[in-house]
Amino acid sequence: MSIHGVLGESTSYPKTYHPKSLYAIPRQLGRDVILGQNKSRQLDTLTVGVDWWHAFEVSWVNPQGISQVALARFAIPATSPNIVESKSLKLYLNSLNFTEFTDWQTLEATITKDLSACVGATVTVSLFALAEAGSETGLLINQPQGRCIDKALEGQDIKIALTEHPDASLLGKVNAAGEISQDYQLYSDLLRSNCPVTDQPDWGTLAIEMSTTASVDEGKLLTYILSFRQHNGFHEQCVEQIFADLTDHFAPTKLMVRAWYTRRGGIDINPCRVSDLSLLPEPSRLIRQ
C-alpha cells in the first residue's frame, strides 16, 4: 500500500471545504517492522498513548465573510488504526480558509468528524483563540523535565558513527543496579530522523521517564538516540521504536517516551507512548515549536 498520498507531490490547494483531502496511513505499516524485530513484542505495548498535533494556521470565515483565525490541538489516540498524512492535513485545513461557519462550535464539530473518519477513531479537537492560549492550554513555550543528556559523551575519546537504522545494541550491556528500582527523567534535543516519503529531516526533542532496576548509561542512551539520524520513519513510528527498544532493554516497571517535533507547514506532531495511561502527561510545546 502506498504511503505517499500527496506528500512530496506538486498540488493545487483547494479553496472550498474538501474533507477528501485527508489521507490515512495505516499504523500497522510501521508497527509490523517493530514487532518483526522481536517476536515476543506485543502490539498492545505500542498502543497506549496519544499523538498531539498542533496547527497554527487554522482559518475560516464567519457569516459576515470576515476571516477568523485560531490555534488548534488534535489528540489522536494511539489505538487508532491510522494516522493522517501531514501534508493532506494541511490541504484539508487550507480548504476551510474560505468556508463559512456560523460559529466556532460548528467548525470544531466538522474537524472532529472528518479527522475521526480518517484515522478510524475519535479525535479530540480543541480550538483556541490567540488571546486565550495561556499556560493552562499548554500552548505557551515550556521546558522538558529532567536532565539533558546531550553532553554525556563530552571528554570521551570516541566518535559516533552514522548508522542507517536505529541500533538498540548501542544501549550496551544491562548492568543491574540492584533490587531497588531507580527513577530516570532524561531528555535530548538531538533526535533526528527523515520523512520516509520526501527524505526531509525531522528534528525533535525526546523525553524519557522510566523506573527500572537496571542502570542507565546516559552516554550509551545518547548514542542510541543518535542512531536515528538517517532513519526513515514517521514521527509516531520513531517514538514507538524507542519505546519498544527501551522496554526490551531495561524491563522498566514504568515507562514514558514522548517527542516534540519541530513544526512544518504550520503543524507540529508530538507522539507520546506510556506503559500505563496513568503516566500520560499533559500536552505542551517547546521553544523550537
- Annotated catalytic residue, options 114, 189, 202, 268: 202
CB 144 within 8 A of CB 204: no
Active site residue 202: yes
Domain assignment present for residue 80? The answer is yes
Question: Taking the alpha carbons of 219, 172, 270, 134 in that order, is the dihedral positive or negative?
Answer: negative
pLDDT tens readout for residues 211-256: 999 999 999 999 999 999 999 999 999 999 999 999 999 999 999 9
Structural domain count of the chain: 2
Residue 204 is predicted with a pLDDT of 98
Q: 104 lies in a domain? A: yes
**Is position 118 annotated as part of the catalytic site?**
no
**Same domain membership, residue 100 and residue 188:** no
Q: Are residues 181 and 132 in the same domain?
A: no
Q: Are 29 and 97 contained in the same domain?
A: yes
Active-site pick, 195, 238, 245, 268: 195
| Residue where a domain terminates, one of 89, 105, 137 | 137
Distance, in Å, from the CA atom of 228 to the CA atom of 219, rounded to the nearest integer, reads 15
Q: What is the pLDDT of residues 255-279, one digit of tens each?
A: 999 999 999 999 999 999 999 999 9
- Report helix, strand or coil for 69: strand
Q: Are residues 86 and 168 in the same domain?
A: no
The CATH number covering residue 240 comes to 3.30.1130.10
Residue 283 CB-density burial (10 A; 0-12 exposed, 13-18 middle, 19+ buried): buried
Last residue of a domain, which of 137, 157, 192?
A: 137
pLDDT of residue 2: 46
Q: Which residues of the chain have pLDDT under 70?
A: 1-11, 176-178
Residue 39's domain comprises 19-137
Residue at which a domain ends, from 105, 137, 169: 137
**Does one domain contain both 178 and 55?**
no
CA distance 18 to 259: 30
228 with 191, same domain: the answer is yes
Q: Minimal CA–CA distance to 112: which of 129, 124, 128?
A: 124
Q: At residue 257, what are phi and psi to the nearest 5 degrees?
A: -130, 125
User: What's the predicted TM-score (pTM) here?
Assistant: 0.93
For the chain, the maximum distance between any two Cα atoms, rounded to a whole number of angstroms, is 68
